[in-house]
Amino acid sequence: MMRRYLIAFVLSATASAGVQSAPPERNVYGSEVGAVYGALRSVKEMSDTCTDVFPEMKEKQFDALLRWRNEYSDFIEEIEDRFLQLMFLDAEQEESRYRAAVAELEEGLEKRRTDQRRKLVANQYEKLKAECENFPELLQSKQVNMELRFSEQVRRIREAVPIK
């Protein structure tokens, strides 16, 4: 449940970054890149939430996130690059518009994360604590292999714009 909340607010923020203003053929590609990017980003968001709310878990969360990022680093970098390229194209390749779009995205993500964290702590503290305690183990499972989890989207993404 927690992961779905985090994925949902990250995906809504990625949509507001300008991907939806792309031409129709790029819009489908952008939506799929945004969905995968949002799922990847939600992993870090969950780790950050756990660390912020439960500081005693910081080291365990950090180590687990680092191992996860290292294991999937090539895929994470590919999707992050694709997402940032889309933002740059949507900014009509103007550096200042691109920087503004990235700043707006980060600001939106931070606001959503703060609002969501406040709601979770207020309404589901014990559930959140249990999720956070189990999160490092989850990061070792195949459930968070986003390349497999989103295999159809990844296939279409790579077919649409092959990796150079």
Q: What share of the chain is helix, strand, coil (3-state, %, to 5)?
A: 85, 0, 15
- Domain ranges for the chain: 2-160
Cβ neighbourhood burial of 4 (10 Å; 0-12, 13-18, 19+): exposed
pLDDT band at 104 (very low <50, low <70, confident <90, very high): confident
Supply the pLDDT for residue 1: 40
- Helices 24-53, 2-15: axis angle to 10 degrees equals 140
Number of H helices, E strands in the chain: 8, 0
148's tokens: 């497999």
Instruction: Give the pLDDT confidence of 109-157 residue by residue, as tens digits.
Output: 788 888 877 887 788 889 999 999 999 999 999 989 999 999 999 999 9
Scan for tokens 């993500």, then name that residue.
Answer: 109
CB atoms within 10 A of CB 21: 10
Average pLDDT over residues 52-57: 94
Whether the Cβ atoms of residue 65 and residue 47 lie closer than 8 Å to each other: yes
CB-based contacts of 48, cutoff 8 Å, min separation 6: 113
Look up residue 18 and give its DSSP letter: T
Instruction: Give the pLDDT confidence of 32-50 residue by residue, as tens digits.
Output: 999 999 999 999 989 999 9
